[in-house]
Each structure stands twice: as C-alpha cells, then as structure tokens.
Amino acid sequence: MSALFTSALAASAEAASGQHYPQGTLYVVATPIGNLADISLRALYVLGLVDAIACEDTRHTQALLRAYGIDKNAKQLIAVHQHNEAQAASTVIDHLRQGQRVAYVSDAGTPGISDPGARLVAALQHQQLRCIPLPGPSSVTTVLSAAGLVEDHPGGFVFSGFLPSKTGERDRAVVALAAETRAVVLLEAPHRIEALALALTSLGSRLVTVGRELTKQFEEIATMAASELPTWLAADANRLRGEFALVLHPMPPSTETTQDTRILKLLLAQLPLKTAVKLAADITGEPRNALYEEALTLKGAKEVGSEG
C-alpha cells in the first residue's frame, strides 16, 4: 500500500461512496497524463470498487493502482488494447452480464479519444449494456487551455490526433490542415516529432502551440510560427523527449481569402501540376479550370524567379 495517497483514498470514500454505482456497468475512467495527483476522487473510489479493470496495459495499470494504494490481483485485470479490442470486448460483456462492475482505463488520459476504448464502448452499446464515463485528464483539453486561443474565429477546434507516419501521407495531411481555418489539435511521439515539425514548416507564419511532457516535472509549453518549430526543437536536445500535444492556431481572418492559392502552392511543391490541381479542386471546391490557370501562373513565376 502506498502511503502517499492514503488521505486521498479516505477522501474519495467520503466524497463519492454515497453515490449510486449500478452493477453490470462499464465505468470509463480518465487517468492522469503524467502527474499522479491529477486523479479524481471519484476515479479513485470507482477503481477500488469495481470487480475488474479492463486496461490498455495490465502492467502499467497495476503500477498505477499500487501508487494509489489500490489492491487488485492479476485475475482482476483484463487486457483490452489496440490489437485485441474487438475480441476482448466479449470478455468484458460476460463480466457485465454476470452483474459485475468493470472499469476501463487506457495508459493515460481519457479513453476512446486517441487511445483504445471506443470499440469496447460501441460493443456495449450494441448489446444495450450501460456505460458511465468518469471525466478527467486529457492532453487535448490540457494543451488547448494553455494555447491562448482568442474567440474571434468561429467553429471551435478540430482534433486530428496523430498524422500518418509515412512522409508522403503526412505531407498530404498537412496540406489538408492548411485548408482548415479552425484550430487543430495534433498528437505526436518523441521519435516522430522532428518529421512532423519539418512538415508543418510549409504552414509558414501560422502559429503553433507545442505542449511537451504536459503535467510532468519538465513540462514545456511554447507558441511560435510553424516555420520556427524545427529550430525550436533543435535548440535543446531535451525537447525531443516526452510526448507532444500541439495546437495549430486558427487561420488569421486576413489570410483566408488567399487560402486556395496557398493550398495550390503547397501541392505544387510536392506534386506534378495536374495532380496538384486535381487535389486542390477536391480540397477547396474551386473549379479545376481556374485552378489550372492559376497553377500555370504560379509555375511560371517560380521558374522566372529561379532564373534570376
């Protein structure tokens, strides 16, 4: 038993035990994204109450439970991860049909957003079984809250998560992001952050807020032009460590009128003219003939400039 959270466990029982926790129910529990103290009192109580815990990584979850002083044996942990989520759902359903309470946790944050959990919940809905969410930490809302987005642009934000790992697919995804006028939240792993930063440089002066190691001891949050992101990473080797959440800020209103041209330029830099025009038409909805004429003009201006 951990002594650090003894008082928190007592407080969780006092605060949450009087509520109703129906049997035969899945409790989707958000867990900290880094700082153990970010666990909620209700989450602590439910994790101790349930008969079984479905989890992305049983070893990781067992260590988390022990840190809080919650005792569950190995038989009470059910592995439900990205590679077995659909199949493992039947095991969880069996537990629920027996009237047991089951919690589901991912390795960090709110399940079912970028982590496993969505297929499990969908399977329960199909069987008309109950699911109760326990809100809590999420890297998405955490980085948004520190991005300083001003409410002068309609539409809220878009969550894109991890972009494709292959260079060509990632570059095409960034071109699509260039057409998105709303804020966009991205996630990235340390071994791929340099490649993402390089791809985002094509967005030029559009602002990006980078959240690294959010809620942890060496947390770092910075806002800069997308073109400056590789330089910022290279300035300190430690910046390549840890998990990343990024916010691509909304498109400034003054640049929206030239957005079609911007997308066309990005595509022309990566693709043959006809392919670039076709994709630009698909993305923007603009007439292909007009885009083709503009592409010829842009190509001609580039060639003249390179000769000079």
How do residues 34-90 score in pLDDT, each as one tens digit? Answer: 999 999 999 999 999 999 999 999 999 999 999 999 999 999 999 998 888 888 999
Q: Is 47 exposed, middle or buried (0-12, 13-18, 19+ CB in 10 A)?
A: buried
Task: Determine the Cα angle at 9 with ends 6 and 15, to 5°.
Answer: 140
Phi then psi for residue 283, to 5 deg, are -75, -45
Tell me which CATH homologous superfamily contains domain 6-137. Tetrapyrrole methylase, N-terminal domain (3.40.1010.10)
Return all residues near 42 (Cβ < 8 A) that are at least 6 apart: 12, 15, 16, 19, 134
What is the arithmetic mean of pLDDT over 292-298?
Answer: 87
Confidence band, pLDDT 50/70/90 cuts, at residue 173: very high
Of all helices (H) and strands (E), which one includes residue 60?
helix 58-68
Confidence band, pLDDT 50/70/90 cuts, at residue 153: low
What class is the 140-251 domain?
alpha beta
What's the pLDDT at 114? Answer: 84
Q: How far is CA 296 from CA 216, 264, 289, 292, 299, in A?
A: 51, 11, 11, 6, 5
Q: Beta strands 183-188 and 244-248: pairing type?
A: antiparallel
Q: In terms of pTM, does the model score above 0.95?
A: no
Rg for the chain, CA atoms, rounded: 24
* Cα of 179 vs its chain's centroid, Å: 20
* Cα of 168 vs its chain's centroid, Å: 21
* CA-closest candidate to residue 223, choices 112, 135, 147: 147
Give the tokens for residue 140. Answer: 């998405």
What is the arithmetic mean of pLDDT over 149-177?
Answer: 87
Give, rounded to a whole angstrom, the gap between the first and last alpha carbons of the chain. Answer: 73
What's the pLDDT at 115? Answer: 84
For 14-28, how does the pLDDT look when each residue is reduced to its tens digit (9 = 90+)? 999 999 999 999 999
Task: Check residue 96 and report its DSSP letter.
Answer: H
Task: Check residue 249 and report its DSSP letter.
Answer: P
Torsion over CA: 42, 157, 120, 214 (sign): negative
What is the arithmetic mean of pLDDT over 254-266?
Answer: 70
* CA-closest candidate to residue 185, choices 258, 239, 264, 113: 113
Instruction: Answer for the pair 187, 161: CB distance below 8 angstroms, yes or no.
Output: yes
What's the pLDDT at 211? Answer: 98
Confidence band, pLDDT 50/70/90 cuts, at residue 215: very high
